[in-house]
C-alpha cells in the first residue's frame, strides 16, 4: 500500500509510550516522520482529529480467523494468526499464503504450527516456515503433553529466534471439561476441571523455557496460581510473557447461568477471585498482551447443549472498547492500554509498528474513547456474532483508520 500523498493529523491527543499529549503526527511514504511538533505541508492529506485520540493501529495477537470487516471496525491493522486452520499452518506454502491473505489493508502475521498437524508429536519444519513468513511458533488450541517434544521445540525455537506461543492448560487434567470446577459447574451439572490444570501447564513450560533460554508467551493466563508463577518467573529474569482476552477480566463463571453457549470458551471462565487476579495482573504488568481471541462461530457450533458447543468468541469488534473500561476504572493509564493491544504484541512478532514513534509504520487509529454503543450480536461485522457481551453497553469507537498512511474503508 503506497500512499499517494503525505498524511498529517492535527488537533489530536497522541498516545505514545511515554504518555498522552496533544500534538501533530505526520506520515510520509507509509512511515511516521514526526510525532508531536509538525505542520501540514502543501499537498498533504490533512485530518483534524478534533480532540480525539490518535493511537497506533491495534495488533491482535492470536486470532483464529481473518475477518477484515470486524478487524477494521475494531481498529485492528495487524493480526497474528494462530496455526489452527484447516489444514493447519504446518507447511511453508500455507504460511506464505496466509501471510499475503489480508494485504493491502490488513497485514496477517502467521504463527507456525509447532508440530505436524498440531498433534503434539513431531516438530514441524520451523526454519522453512520462518523463511516463508512465520513470525512465531504456536502449539495451537492445545497443550503439548510430551515434555520431551516441548523441550526440543523450545531449544529449536531459541536457535531460530522465534517466540513459542503455548496454550496453558494440562490436557490430561482438563480432558473434555467445559467449565471450571466450582459451585457454578456443580449447579449446572457441567463436566469440569480444576483451575490448577492451568498452573501445572504454566509451571512446566516456564521450567523448560528457563532451562533453554527460549522466549515463551503464554497466550492466556487466567488464574491467580498461574499468574503468581509468571510473576515469579519474570522476577528471576525468565523470558516469559503472558496474555489474556477481555472475557477473563470482564466475566466470571457466573456468566454460564442459563447455559449461555456464547460464554463457552477455552480456557473456561473462572471464579470471581481469579477474575480479580487477572485485573491485578494487568495493573501490575504481569500480563503483557490483551488480545481478542477472535473465533467467529455460527449457529451450527453454538446452538447446541452447552457441553457440545464449540468454544470461542467473536472478539475483534469489542477488544478496544473493553480494554478502555480498564482505563476508565483506573486500573491502567491510556498509554498502558495501547502497550497491551499494540506495542507489546508488535514486539513479540518483531514488526516496526504498534506505537507512535518516528520510523514506525503509519498504522493509525482515530478514536473517540467516550462514544457509547451497544454490542449487538445480530449486527456485528464479524462472520458470526458469538460474543458473550451481547447487549452490553460500552464506550469507545474507532472513527478513522489508516494502514501504512492510507485510509482504510
How far, in Å, CA of 117 to CA of 98, rounded? 16
Confidence of residue 102 (pLDDT cuts 50, 70, 90): confident
Q: What is the DSSP string of 195-209?
A: THHHHHHHHHHHHHH
- The candidate with the shortest Cα–Cα distance to 205, out of 159, 242, 179, is 242
User: Tens digit of pLDDT for each residue in 48-77?
Assistant: 999 999 999 999 999 999 999 999 999 999
Under 8 Å between Cβ of 73 and 317? yes
Mean pLDDT calculated for residue range 337-353: 97
Q: Where are the alpha helices (DSSP H) in 85-241?
A: 92-99, 126-131, 147-160, 171-174, 183-188, 196-212, 224-235
Question: 28 — phi, psi (to 5°)?
Answer: -130, 130
Helix, strand or coil for residue 293? coil
How far, in Å, CA of 244 to CA of 277, rounded? 12
Helix (H) or strand (E) holding 16: strand 7-16
Residue 334 has a pLDDT of: 98
- Of 98-102, 199-203, 291-295, 362-366, the least confident: 98-102
Domains along the chain?
58-346 (3.20.20.140)
- Percentages helix, strand, coil for the chain (3-state, rounded to 5) are 35, 25, 40
- The candidate with the shortest Cα–Cα distance to 314, out of 297, 299, 289, 301, is 297
User: Tens digit of pLDDT for each residue in 39-49?
Assistant: 888 889 999 99
Helix, strand or coil for residue 269? coil
Confidence of residue 2 (pLDDT cuts 50, 70, 90): low
Residue 219 has pLDDT above 70, yes or no: yes
User: Tens digit of pLDDT for each residue in 261-318?
Assistant: 999 999 999 999 999 999 999 999 999 999 999 999 999 999 999 999 999 999 999 9
**What does the angle CA 151 – CA 111 – CA 134 come to, to the nearest 5 degrees?**
100
Residue 1 has pLDDT above 60, yes or no: no
Residue 409 has pLDDT above 90, yes or no: no
Residue 38 has a pLDDT of: 84
Which triple of cell numbers denotes residue 297? 462461530
Amino acid at each position: 500500500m503506497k500512499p499517494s500523498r503525505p498524511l498529517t493529523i492535527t488537533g489530536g491527543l497522541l498516545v505514545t509510550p511515554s504518555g498522552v499529549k496533544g500534538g501533530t503526527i505526520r506520515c510520509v511514504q507509509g512511515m511516521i516522520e514526526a510525532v508531536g511538533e509538525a505542520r501540514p505541508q502543501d499537498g498533504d492529506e490533512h485530518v483534524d482529529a478534533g480532540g480525539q485520540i490518535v493511537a497506533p493501529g491495534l495488533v491482535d495477537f492470536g486470532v483464529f480467523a481473518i475477518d477484515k470487516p470486524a478487524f477494521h471496525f475494531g481498529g485492528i491493522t495487524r493480526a497474528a494468526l494462530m496455526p489452527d486452520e484447516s489444514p493447519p499452518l504446518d507447511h511453508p506454502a500455507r504460511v506464505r499464503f496466509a501471510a499475503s491473505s489480508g494485504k493491502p489493508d490488513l497485514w496477517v502475521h502467521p504463527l507456525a504450527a509447532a508440530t505436524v498437524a498440531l498433534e503434539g508429536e513431531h516438530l514441524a519444519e520451523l526454519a522453512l516456515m520462518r523463511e516463508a513468513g512465520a513470525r512465531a511458533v504456536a502449539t495451537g488450541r492445545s497443550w503439548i503433553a510430551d515434555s520431551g517434544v516441548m523441550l526440543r521445540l523450545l531449544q529449536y525455537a531459541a536457535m531460530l529466534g522465534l517466540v513459542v506461543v503455548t496454550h496453558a492448560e494440562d490436557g490430561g487434567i482438563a480432558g473434555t471439561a467445559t467449565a471450571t470446577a466450582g459451585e457454578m459447574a456443580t449447579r449446572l451439572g457441567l463436566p469440569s476441571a480444576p483451575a490448577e490444570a492451568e498452573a501445572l501447564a504454566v509451571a512446566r513450560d516456564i521450567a523448560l523455557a528457563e532451562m533453554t533460554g527460549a522466549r515463551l508467551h503464554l497466550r492466556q493466563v487466567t488464574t491467580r496460581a498461574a499468574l503468581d508463577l509468571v510473576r515469579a518467573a519474570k522476577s528471576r529474569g525468565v523470558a516469559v510473557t503472558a496474555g489474556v482476552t477481555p472475557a477473563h477480566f470482564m466475566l466470571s463463571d457466573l456468566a454460564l447461568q442459563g447455559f449461555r453457549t456464547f460464554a463457552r470458551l477455552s480456557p473456561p471462565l473462572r471464579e470471581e477471585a481469579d477474575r480479580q487476579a487477572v485485573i491485578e495482573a494487568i495493573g501490575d504488568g504481569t500480563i503483557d498482551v490483551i488480545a481478542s481471541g477472535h473465533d467467529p462461530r455460527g449457529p451450527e457450533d453454538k446452538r447446541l447443549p452447552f457441553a457440545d458447543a464449540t468454544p470461542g468468541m467473536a472478539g475483534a469488534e469489542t477488544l478496544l472498547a473493553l480494554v478502555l473500561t480498564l482505563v476508565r476504572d483506573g486500573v491502567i493509564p491510556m498509554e498502558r492500554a495501547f502497550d497491551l493491544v499494540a506495542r507489546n504484541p508488535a514486539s513479540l512478532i518483531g514488526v516496526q509498528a504498534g506505537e507512535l514513534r518516528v520510523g514506525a509504520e503509519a498504522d493509525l487509529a482515530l478514536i473517540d474513547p467516550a462514544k457509547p454503543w451497544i454490542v449487538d450480536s445480530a449486527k456485528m461485522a464479524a462472520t458470526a456474532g458469538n460474543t458473550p457481551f451481547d447487549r452490553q453497553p460500552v464506550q469507545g469507537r474507532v472513527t478513522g483508520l489508516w494502514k501504512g498512511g492510507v485510509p482504510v474503508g
